Amino acid sequence: MAGAKPGVHALQLKPVSVHPELQRGGKFIKWDEVRTKMLETCFELGTGQDEADILDISTIRDTRRGKYARSPRDMRLLELMGENSEGKMVSIVHGSDLVNISFLNVVAMTEDEAKIWTEELFTLATNILSQNASRHTFLRKVYTKLKLQMTQDGKIPLKKFIIKQEFNDFGVHEKAFCSLLFALSLQLEGIKQDDFTWEAFQKFLDSLCFRPEIQSIFEECGSKKKPFISMDQLTDFINRRQRDSRLNEVLYPPLKKEQVRQIMEKYEKNTGQLERDQISLQGFSRYLEGEENTIVPPERLDIIDDMNQPLSHYFINSSHNTYLTVGQLTGLSSVEMYRQVLLTGCRCVELDCWKGRLPDEEPYITHGFTMTTEIPFKEVLEAIAESAFKASPYPVILSFENHVDSVKQQAKMAEYCRTIFGDALLIDPLEKYPLAPGYPLPSPHELQGKILIKNKKNHRHRPLSGSIRRREMGEQSSPNMGQLLSNGEEKLAERMVKDLEPRKSIGCGIYPLQGTAGSEVKATEEMSYLVNYIEPVKFKGFEVTSKRRKYFEMSSFVETKGMDILKSDPVDFVEYNKNQLSRIYPKGTRVDSSNFMPQIFWNIGCQMVALNFQTPDLPMQLNMGVFEYNGRSGYILKPEFMRRTDKHFDPFTENIVDGIVANTVVSGQFLSDKKVGVYVEVDLFGLPGDTKRKYRTKTSNGNSLDPVWNDDTFLFNKIVLPTLASLRIAVFEENGKFVGHRILPVSAIRPGYHYINLKNELNQPLLLPSLLVYTEAQDYIPNEHQEYAEALTNPIKHISMLDKRTTQLAVLMENSEVRRFGYFAVCVCVYIQVQTIEDLRQHKDYVKLIKKQKKELKELRAKNLKKVHTQADAFEKLKQTANERYASQLKKLKETCEKEKKELQKILDRKRQNSISEARNREKDRTEVDLNDINRKHIQESVASIRGVSTDCSTHTQHTLSLITSSPQNVHNLLYSTFFCCCHQLFSTPQTISSPLIIHIAILPPLILISLFLWFPTVTLNSSFLYFLPCILAGAGSGQKKGQTNFKTERGAETHRRGTFSTGEQIRTVTHAHSEQSFNNCPSVLLL
């Protein structure tokens, strides 16, 4: 399973079990809602049928009793039922969609009996496992339904009920059908109930629908035309074809032989085959139809998501204009729609509230400024209170669109919410989740059984004047709306205005119509006080909302506005939806109540994507199919990338590639009740970066009973985020008429051969139509890495393949050598010539000489390479030593400079303090100004000295450069005189050092370098030749005494400024007597 979650989920769903009271049966009084009127003359028309109506439990949508059940309006019926009959009333609601529903009304004998039947029927009808049962279970239901179709003499008329009702016109001729029944020892006109066993029905189906594709699968398992396969072959088929190879073998171990033996005992009826550890073709076919082989594992239907995360981390099943039954402009509004929508698992319904008329002044719900009918606000709340938590225990959100401009009526609305919902209404925020910035929303688990109000909130609680303003929640105001009439009586012309733009709630502003100002404030407080975690606000941009960090605020967007934001800021939209709720609703021009594709906004993490539930189009079918999973709770946990704040998700990305799904539609069974061609479409709904999204099979040639396609595999080669993708498999007649479909989450699809039982538009299961498909699910791997992935997945197979290739290449090599040898033999026979012994000896000596020369050449090459390697190693060592010495000298220089800097600072401070002390001693009566003059004078003297040294240095440098440019010999003489002048002054230990010495020292390094380049123009200098420069200074510095502080300080500063380095070594010098000769003949005497 692509995107499978780690860990094993313990199934919490209860299997189908019928209460003993229902098995025993009961007596009820049935009554119809049709009103009757007595006439003096009447005629009775008898149908002459004693047949019983059969109600399929899968079509039951709700069961009610007591005050929620329907009561007869005929007083005579009420009198017949007796007093206190309300608790005995039972209404069974059934239908194929949400709008066209019917009521079966009965009266039980006792209240306890009514309670048991009401609760147990609803439990059976809403059991998720029964609605997603195996192919075997649905065939058993067909068999049971046929057995109930008996005539008065207790026989089952197969010709009447099977051909005309179940199988209708499948192209089976009556003569062939009679022959089939005769071969099975069954009678055409009627079969006794005892003779019509389950085994007989299975034989009938096997003979009616010949299944060559099952025979092919059976042969793939290793039957080799035999009517059986062994237990080992069945074990290999289950673990190799029916199991996901990517699953962890510790958490999801392959089946063992003992487990396979249990499967064989369950489906193989031939005891002789079982004794030989074999299973027949019939038993194998029953296994493929069994509950172990459903396309989606049962645990995915259970509540498998973590329900303890903030509300913003879930997709929430949401409805738009819930009260409507047809279009947006005309038609009926129905209270029953709220019940039906909530029973599907929807957790967010919409209430468009308008001000009631005199004299009752009861608020009502309708689609304003249209021709739709009105329903009382109070009845809607009662319906919600009765049905809110029958299908799911998780919180329900009431999205108010409040157009009531009456203080009194808003107070009445708030009071209705309190009294009708009672403790279920969440008024005060939870202690752990205060309405403060930075606090997350509570989780669905913590809000179980609670109803939340979404309504504009007035924080100031003060009355406003003027006409009601339209809410700005991403839509534009309609120019046709105008102002509401203050007396609450809309004119007919205003009601016929077709406002095509969506009308959202206008908030809880209070308008002074009647009563006192205090009562108005009280009403404002009452309505606003009901709003907590779902507070709608105007969207002002992602940057503003991120700074406010008020996660209890949410915004609504019309689909066009949401699409614009999706195109411009997809990543920011995803980040917004990690912490705050957003609601997307259809645009106003969808007057036919059509829907947009919800997948578009699920891709960016929008939680409440509101759809028109009354229209079962493709978007609504996708919504119903997706929210069928996770226990049909109405909440689906978003993928991890859409929840983690440390991750950023781009819905247009193509990088998070996880899955590959390949589907092969093998065959179909009982797809239509007509003799027509049928075809299958396979659609993928996911991110924009997914690969091809739609495939279609060929149309069968007039066969809808058991068509076989087995076409090419439908490969979805790249599914970016499987946990967000869904697969839709739909069947259509050749004229395009919809037959049935199934929505499957990609992350839950099982690989292998599986039956898919089709469902109708409202996700209700169909009994007979089904498809047999073969599915493969793998991790996505780019084409260039396929071979490496296969090697890692199955190393033994990869090694075997390599060995096989090696063997094949060895054979080719052997064949090539044989061919070369044969060719060589022919050549010898044809071209060899007679040679003398002398010629052979000369040839032998020549060969020896060649070998000797090759050997010597090889030795010379090895010797030369060794020498080259030795020189290279020596150079590397020398380079490493030089780098180490350079680092050491740099470190010592830094330490020396820091030390001298500190000493100089101390001397200057001491000198300044001495000057100040002396001045104080001489003239104690001097003022502060005089002391500052002393300091200023001292600083000016120091600056003048430094400038003088700098001027002398510049002058001397210009003079030196002029000598250098005139002649190299001048450079030599200047270097000679400067060097010995420095040495003489350094080692003569004077008390002070003059400026010329500093200048000499400053120009020494460049002069030495220039001299070396002039004397050795062909020599390449490295860093080692520059070491003698700091040695001169360091050696001179080491010979100074304690009293020569000024020299050391100036020399250190100058040295640091020019970037020279001190080694601390003594310098060997030459005497003045023979220095000139040494410099002329061998300048290298200056080197260390």
Any known ligand binding at 352? yes
| DSSP secondary structure string for all residues of 208-221 | HS--HHHHHHHHHT
**C-alpha gyration radius of the chain:** 49
Q: Where are the beta strands (DSSP E) in 686-794?
A: 694-696, 714-719, 726-733, 738-745, 752-759, 765-779
Side chain identity at residue 409, one-letter code? Q
Please give the structure tokens belonging to residue 26: 């009961």
Under a CB-based contact definition with an 8 Å cutoff, are residues 112 and 119 in contact?
no
Active site residue 403: no
Question: CA-CA distance, 928 to 926, in Å (whole number)?
Answer: 7
Residues 569, 85: Cα–Cα separation, whole Å: 61
Is residue 628 a known part of a binding site? no
| Choice among 94, 136, 313, 320 that is catalytic | 320
For 729, phi and psi rounded to 5 degrees? -115, 115
Tell me if 120 sits within 8 A of 21, measured CB to CB: yes
Instruction: Give the separation between CA 316 and CA 347, rounded to whole angstroms.
Output: 7
Of the candidates 94, 136, 367, 754, the residue annotated as catalytic is 367
Q: Which two tokens stand for residue 717?
A: 């080669």
Place of tokens 């055409």: 188
- For β-strands 314-319 and 608-611, DSSP reports them as parallel
CA separation for the pair 137, 767 (Å, rounded): 9
State the Cα–Cα distance between residues 65 and 72, nearest whole angstrom: 13
DSSP letters spanning 43-77: --------PPP---GGGEEEEEEGGGS-----HHH
Q: For residue 738, which phi and psi values (nearest 5 degrees)?
A: -70, 130
The beta-strand segments (E) located in 455-539 are 535-536
**Residue corresponding to tokens 């009561």:** 71
248 annotated to a ligand binding site:
no
CB atoms under 10 Å from CB of 112, counted, come to 12
Q: Is 972 a catalytic residue?
A: no
Q: Say how far residue 1086 (Cα) sits from the centre of its chain.
A: 75
Say which amino acid occupies 477. S
Only one residue has tokens 């009266």, namely 107
Phi, psi of 591 (to 5 degrees): -70, -15
Known binding residue 321? Answer is: yes
Block residue for tokens 């991110």: 687
Please say whether the beta carbons of 713 and 748 come within 8 A. no
Up-side HSE of residue 210: CA atoms within 13 Å toward CB?
Answer: 4
Q: How far apart are CA 645 and CA 652, in angstroms?
A: 19
Which are the catalytic amino acids?
Answer: 320, 367
**Known binding site for Ca(2+): residues?**
321, 350, 352, 401
